Copies of this chain bind each other. A is one copy, B any other.
Amino acid sequence: MAPPKSLQTNMDVDYVITYRFATTDKSAAVAKFEELVQGLSSVGLDTEVRSGDKHSILLFVRVASDEHLFGEVYRSRVRDWIHGVRAAAPPKETREALESEPLYEAERLRIIYQLITNPIEDGGAGITPGEGEWKNVESIFALHDNAYNKDWIKKWATSYFLTTEDLDDIRNRLGEKIAFYFAFTQSYFTFLFFPAAFGFISWLFLGHFSPIYGIVNAIWCTVFTEWWKHQEVDLGVRWGVRGVSRIETKRRDFMHEKEITDPVTGERVLMFPSTKRLQRQLLQIPFALVAASLLGALIATCFGIEVFISEIYNGPFKSLLVFLPTGIATTVMPILSGILTNFATKLTEFENYQTHGAYETALTQKIFVLNFITSYLPIFLTAFVYVPFGTIIVPYLDVFSLTVRPFAENEKQMTAPKVGSFAINPDRLRKQVIYFTVTAQIVNLGMELVVPYLKRRGFSWFKQKQSERAAKRNGSGPAVSANDPPEDAAFLTRVREEAELGVYDVTSDLREMVIQFGYLSLFSVVWPFTPVSFLINDWFELRADAIKICVEMQRPTPWRADTIGPWLDSLSFLAWLGSLTTSALVYMFSNDGLGPGGHPKSIEGWALLLSVMLSEHLFILLRWGVRLAISKLDSPGLQKERRDRFLVRKKYFEESLSELKRLPTMADKGEEITRKSLEEDAREGSLRASTPESRFWSRQRGWRETVMVGKGLIEKAEVESSPERKKEL
């Protein structure tokens, strides 16, 4: 398309700002634009403007001078040090600080982004894309580094494993938050080798619902979760971000109710009463109930229809009609969960958190609940409702006969068998697990890559058509690129293309991995081949995500993080829940899926509960043991942290104590005093001293006298019978 040169260079541009204006209010747009450029300039940024698409212009931004940037970097590093992210204060000479620890690209981009977006009182330009007075600022994005991207994808496509250096590379380019996602997925991928191998063997030799596989799998899930926590710390130290989650950034949307003066700091603090927030948070309970019942009703309905068609219905088109519930689910579910996610976001905004961290945690929790229902409820229904109670429930399923009424030839084809005469299909659970762990994963992976591609193609086709139509209407009507200087043309075309790309959201990718981990933890005992499927899938997933970031999305703004955030709790929760479901499944489906006595009916309540309880407590014990063992592990990151702390400590000690000279010790005092006789001494003492205390302490002067008197006392102990020697004292 464009000559390679223009693809390679980013023209030293740090950020591109898309400024979209309404054609109706030209003068306001111009005024705001002036304010924007002036604001950027006031924080030391150079600007260049070019035309964007029809109603937008592109504002290119770069740092005016290195000195200015270095100042900002130093300021940021000092802030880190004060919040405990760095062990030592950066050297006071800015140049020196930067030489001893050079700036990496993600740090540079983050600092510039903050310079643009931070509030004016914090030293930024206060530009808030898409919000409030800056509604016209559509987006702020950095340009892709195409040369690096190409190398990256090429390298990954040809290697099986990612090294820590690969992750360092991502961190240097895309920031720690995204690097943490890749590090997590890579760890998970590596860890999957063991259950994949073991699962394959189990699948071959142990069969389904093997308690041995269940135990090994539970151990693996625990070890992985706990190990990742350890690894997170290690990477956090390696990347110098350990503790950044403690640096709280205020949310701009936070609405305070009152302003109080902090009794501690004397600063003006915006407050929102936490009781009021708690009241709002309580809305989560009805929300969760409504979401669960809506999604649950949908899932249960589809499930009921499916069971009805596949196991009761006996008329024509059965093989086709069986896909009817899947069709319903595939169309209605995304709409419903979209609505619910939207509502969850609204609810979280309503809860009015003060910091980004709190907001993200609250939102993630809600989204996890929604995903939990949509992902796992179908399998839960099959395992814990259909199998134990199927014979009771299925006969009532002929309410769903209306879905097939148009096709049935007679009533008999749609009549459920009488209670007791129906036998459940023990294979249903396995089929469902296979669907979710293989088919759904592949579909998902495809969607991630294909949908944005199609969207992009469709959009550009639509725009082309539109401009062709416009050109027809207006005669020569040139494209926006017509005014580009020829040597920049290719570059500007690329920038315009990138401006139209979507924004990458690392959370959704992380969520996907966590949900996948959930299948493994909760249900893989049903089909031990699951980890093999995940292993293959995740190899592609990692690469697909890299391609997505490079091609389908705008270059993400590099943010820092020292953890994968609230998803970590979800992992722990899923590992714990897995200990419950696995034991329940193993008990209920023992005898290769037939139930403990060879029949699902013979499931005993107390035995089920006992196995679940035992398993849960063993799990908790195991987790404690694993935590303890892992906490003993050393790692390069922890060593580095210890080294840093040690050096700082040493320095402080030296600085603080160097002035404090040890006083002369008493060892040589009293030398002359011993020459005086003891009697004289005692007399003299009693004369000089006026208080009992000083008299008490003046009886022996200097340590040598104490020794002499002590010697006398010790010797006297043996010669007690000869009273003459007592006078010696």
* Contact surface of A with B, Cβ cutoff 8 Å: 5, 9, 11-12, 19, 21, 23, 26, 29-30, 33-34, 37-38, 40-51, 54-55, 57, 59-60, 62, 64-65, 67-68, 71, 74-75, 78, 81-82, 89, 92, 94, 123, 263-265, 274, 474, 476-478, 483, 485, 487-488, 491, 604-606, 608-610, 612-613, 632, 639, 642-643, 646, 649, 652-653, 656-657, 659-660, 662-663, 665-667, 669, 692-693, 695-697, 699-700, 702-703, 706-707, 709-711, 713-718, 720-721, 723, 726, 729
Instruction: Tell me if B642 and A265 are in contact (CB < 8 A).
Output: yes
Given contacts A30-B715, A707-B38, contact A697 B612 (CB under 8 A): no
Q: How near does chain B come to A232, taking the closest CB pair, in angstroms?
A: 20
In this complex, which of A123, A702, A713, A720 has the most chain B Cβ atoms within 10 angstroms of its Cβ?
A713
Q: How near does chain B come to A53, taking the closest CB pair, in angstroms?
A: 10
Q: How near does chain B come to A49, taking the closest CB pair, in angstroms?
A: 4
Q: Roughly how many angstroms separate A649 CA and B707 CA in the complex, as a whole number?
A: 53
Given contacts A696-B488, A697-B11, contact A666 B64 (CB under 8 A): yes
Given contacts A41-B666, A57-B713, A707-B34, contact A476 B609 (CB under 8 A): no
Partner of A47 from the list B57, B483, B706 (CB cut-off 8 Å) is: B706
Copies per complex of this chain: 2
Partner of A74 from the list B19, B660, B707 (CB cut-off 8 Å) is: B660
Instruction: Tell me if A26 and B74 are in contact (CB < 8 A).
Output: no
11 A-B pairs in the complex with CB atoms less than 8 angstroms apart:
A11-B696, A12-B697, A30-B715, A34-B711, A54-B717, A55-B717, A57-B710, A62-B697, A75-B660, A474-B720, A606-B609
Instruction: Tell me if B717 and A263 are in contact (CB < 8 A).
Output: no
Q: How near does chain B come to A433, taking the closest CB pair, in angstroms?
A: 26
Instruction: Tell me if B652 and A82 are in contact (CB < 8 A).
Output: yes
Q: Roughly how many angstroms separate A50 CA and B715 CA in the complex, as a whole number?
A: 13
Q: Roughly how many angstroms separate A642 CA and B726 CA in the complex, as a whole number?
A: 64
> Nearest chain-B residue to A277 (Cβ)?
B632
> Nearest chain-B residue to A274 (Cβ)?
B632
Instruction: Tell me if B710 and A667 are in contact (CB < 8 A).
Output: no
With a cutoff of 8 Å between Cβ atoms, the chain B residues found around residue A47 in the complex are: 700, 703, 706
Instruction: Tell me if A711 and B55 are in contact (CB < 8 A).
Output: no
Given contacts A71-B662, A703-B47, A720-B474, contact A693 B11 (CB under 8 A): yes
Instruction: Tell me if B646 and A264 are in contact (CB < 8 A).
Output: yes
Partner of A606 from the list B265, B488, B605, B692 (CB cut-off 8 Å) is: B605
With a cutoff of 8 Å between Cβ atoms, the chain B residues found around residue A604 in the complex are: 606
Q: Roughly how many angstroms separate A371 CA and B474 CA in the complex, as a whole number?
A: 94
With a cutoff of 8 Å between Cβ atoms, the chain B residues found around residue A75 in the complex are: 657, 660
Instruction: Tell me if A474 and B721 are in contact (CB < 8 A).
Output: yes
Q: A50-B713, A263-B639 are in contact. List 18 more A-B contacts (CB 8 A).
A: A11-B697, A19-B710, A33-B707, A40-B703, A41-B669, A49-B713, A57-B714, A59-B706, A71-B663, A75-B660, A82-B649, A89-B656, A123-B662, A264-B639, A264-B643, A265-B643, A474-B720, A606-B606
